[in-house]
Structure 1
Amino acid sequence: MPDNNSPWGNKGGGGKKPGQNPWGSQGKPDRNRPKPGEGSPDLDNVIQGFKNRVRTGGPRGPRGSGGGNPNGPLQKFGPFGIAAIIGLFFLLMTTIYTVDQQEEAVVLRFGEFNRTAAPGLNFKLPSPFETYIKEKTRVVTKTTIGGNDNTSLMLTGDENIVDIDFTVLWRINDLKNYIFEVDEPAVALKAVAESAMREIIGRSELENIITTERLNTTIAVRDLMQATLDEYGAGIEVVEVQLQKADAPDGRVVDAFRDVVDATQEKETLINEATAYQNTVVPQARGAAAKIIQDAEGYKGQVVAEAKGEAERFTLILGEYKAAPRVTRQRMYLETMEDVYKDADKMMLDTEPGSGVVPYLPLNELNRNRGAN
């Protein structure tokens, strides 16, 4: 049976001899072509087999048959079926999505809020039934306000002008409200921050703003911003407000206010030094006073106790004297002499007067002992 799939007709018959090429060699052998039976593949059959495989999706038939598998795995669906399968595959792929650790996602069903998705692998209905929006809710965003005359110049409570530059640190704390409640939340945040700063500055004096009340100003602005954003339902948490610059407008006034700031800082330094000195000296003085009081209390107790002891002793001696006056007088005399001479150098002479013997007194020893004492 002729091979109709070959572009050159029947290889083995049809009026052409074996080895005849398609360009009409008229039976003359081609020197560059391998001879039949040497085992080299025929180029025409290789090309034809590749075409059959692509067209049918199956393996090429036996060599020389020129045909493939007419019932390939995708051929039975046709081009529209293949397109439908590919579309279904991509549609199923839209049901799976991931949310990063720093993000949250809201799922919309037919454009309306349905639920909030946590970080990790999540599933939803295929698009366009459900879609999702992701935002970074655990990242602090920085917004800088100021830098030009329109937003940085503000009027203070004492009718002065101050040049303010500040930064707002914020993050998303309610993704649903952040997306649906306020149009362009970042723009709204900037407007609320500028308005809150102008209101707080309008209540304060210029000198306090640029000197000692900078921290209190930022805290008041943060609280007012948070209250306003909560009232709007913006889903934003104000983490911190940082005051970058608070100066008088450029000109000679700036130098004067800088001198005021320097003087105020020097004043605060001197006050801190005086306070430190006070905290050192006052406790020492109080300790010394307490010591003196305690010594006086101790001396008082000692004197009172000694006086009471002497009075008690005198009372006891008086009782003894009434009982035996002579003995008591003798005893009192001896005790008094003992107290008087107990630290003196003494020498006892046991001789009868008028015996004619002159006593020897060791004056050198007495003088040496007196000098040592």
Structure 2
Amino acid sequence: MAGRNPWGGSSGDDDSDRGPGGEPDTMPTGDGSKPKNPWLPGGDPTGQGNPDGRAPGRKPSNIEDIFRARQRRGGGGGGGSPQFPRAPGGRSWTPYIIVAVVLLWLFLSSVHQINAKEQGIVTTAGKYTRTLNPGLHLTLPWPIQSVSDMDVTSIRRDNIPDGTEEKLMLTGDQNLVDLSYLVRWNIKDLKLYSFQLAEPDETVREVAEAAMRASVAEVKLDDALSGAGRAQIEQAVRARMQQLLDAYRSGVAVQGVEIKKADPPTRVIDAFKEVLAAQQDAQSDINRARAWAEQVTARAEGEAEAFNQVYSEYRLAPEVTRRRMYYETMERVLSQTPKTIVEADGVVPYLPLPEVSRRRSGGDAAPNAATPGASAPSRGPAANGNNAAGGQ
């Protein structure tokens, strides 16, 4: 009896049948079974409901038992290990998920869509295989083959220099000019562009600067600043760039070069403007002098041609030509002098032609031609002869 628990259990070291206060959770019965302890909530009288032999709903007696129980349940923060849904027939979904991931990977790494403005480069283990044109293409999956696409149709623009930086170049007449220009280019061979040069974009900029310096060194400062000179430089730079890039096998096509600014250096721009203004004034004076000389020369040539024509007519009929020339000369001279017309026989009324012309030009009514005026006495044949020489 000394080793027996008064509640029917043994007094051994096993305390799995005791309650929170050390009391047993079962009571002895006549048939040797262990009935449920009436002082605890409902549980399994056999102690088999939990992994550690405790009745359901009963807490562990110490902290070691708590951790031991959590480890037996899978180490979760309560609630046991999660249970994933299973496929029909009780099989796991894991093989199906693996197959779906593999198929998706094969599709994404084997099917490639190349846009209209692009081309693709296929490499096998890093080595060039082929070039893909726009459309849908199939390749081996990654990492066996990989595809890199790039826009080969759009025009790329490089501004040289970047921002407001000053770019000085030496002209053929040993002057400095500040140039900024735009280079337009695109890719004509994607294979060469991708594998021939280490840095193709930087190479295009360096080639453009070298070609621009070589072309500017062949012209004078005035040609570099003028419109016609700029066009010549742009064509020369484009030709030089294309020649160098083709020699490098770069796969680049130069579409054009445009000079946006051509100014003298900033430190001498004021003096340069004054010199340029003086040169423009001098050129304007030279142009006016040339225009006046051309007018005088044209007038002299016209008069000489008219004289030659008159002389040819004079040689054909000297008397008729002489009389016609006399009449034309008298008409030209007398049309610019005041005149008085007097008839030869007797005294006639005075006809004031200059006064009539003056009043008519002033808007007044013309006086009556028959208005009597100062009578001119008859001077005889001598007077009539003198006036007849000046009459018209």
TM-score, normalising length: structure 2: 0.49
Determine if the alignment matches structure 1 residue 145 to structure 2 residue 163.
no
Q: 2:131 corresponds to which residue?
A: 116
Q: 1:180 corresponds to which residue?
A: 195
State the percentage of identical aligned residues: 29
Looking at structure 1, the residues matched to 188 and 278 of structure 2 have their Cα atoms a distance apart, in angstroms, of 42
Determine if the alignment matches structure 1 residue 192 to structure 2 residue 203.
no
Determine if the alignment matches structure 1 residue 133 to structure 2 residue 153.
no
Match of 2:239 among 223, 241, 249: 223
Q: 2:272 corresponds to which residue?
A: 254
Looking at structure 1, the residues matched to 204 and 275 of structure 2 have their Cα atoms a distance apart, in angstroms, of 31
Deviation, structure 1 residue 85: 4.7
* Alpha carbons 2:43, 2:57 under 8 Å: kept: no
* Alpha carbons 2:170, 2:176 under 8 Å: kept: yes
Looking at structure 2, the residues matched to 71 and 264 of structure 1 have their Cα atoms a distance apart, in angstroms, of 101
User: Which structure has the higher relative contact order (CA within 8 Å, separation 6+)?
Assistant: 1
* C-alpha distance 115-265 of structure 1, shift in aligned 2 (>3 A): farther
Please, what is the CA RMSD of the aligned residues?
Answer: 3.9
Looking at structure 2, the residues matched to 226 and 182 of structure 1 have their Cα atoms a distance apart, in angstroms, of 15
Secondary structure at 2:217 match in 1 = helix
Looking at structure 2, the residues matched to 163 and 128 of structure 1 have their Cα atoms a distance apart, in angstroms, of 51
Q: For 1:1-373, list aligned pairs within 5 A.
A: 54-58=84-88, 69-71=89-91, 74=93, 77=95, 82-83=97-98, 85-146=100-161, 152-211=167-226, 212-250=228-266, 251=268, 252-256=270-274, 258-259=276-277
* Alpha carbons 1:169, 1:238 under 8 Å: kept: yes
* Alpha carbons 1:157, 1:202 under 8 Å: kept: yes
Looking at structure 2, the residues matched to 140 and 146 of structure 1 have their Cα atoms a distance apart, in angstroms, of 19
* Alpha carbons 1:145, 1:151 under 8 Å: kept: no
Partner letter of residue 226 of structure 1?
Q
Partner letter of residue 110 of structure 1?
A
Secondary structure at 2:204 match in 1 = helix
Runs of 4+ in 1 over 6 A off after TM superposition: 148-151, 263-267
Task: Figure out how many residues of one structure are paired with residues of the other and give that number.
Answer: 219
| Structure 1 unaligned residues grouped into runs of 5+ | 1-7, 11-21, 25-50, 59-68, 286-291, 293-373
TM-score, normalising length: structure 1: 0.51
Deviation, structure 1 residue 258: 4.7
Q: Point out the structure with the larger helix share.
A: 1
Looking at structure 2, the residues matched to 195 and 55 of structure 1 have their Cα atoms a distance apart, in angstroms, of 70
Partner letter of residue 203 of structure 1?
E
| Structure 2 unaligned residues grouped into runs of 5+ | 1-41, 45-55, 59-81, 303-308, 310-392
Deviation, structure 1 residue 254: 3.4
Deviation, structure 1 residue 97: 1.0
Looking at structure 1, the residues matched to 157 and 278 of structure 2 have their Cα atoms a distance apart, in angstroms, of 32
Deviation, structure 1 residue 133: 1.3
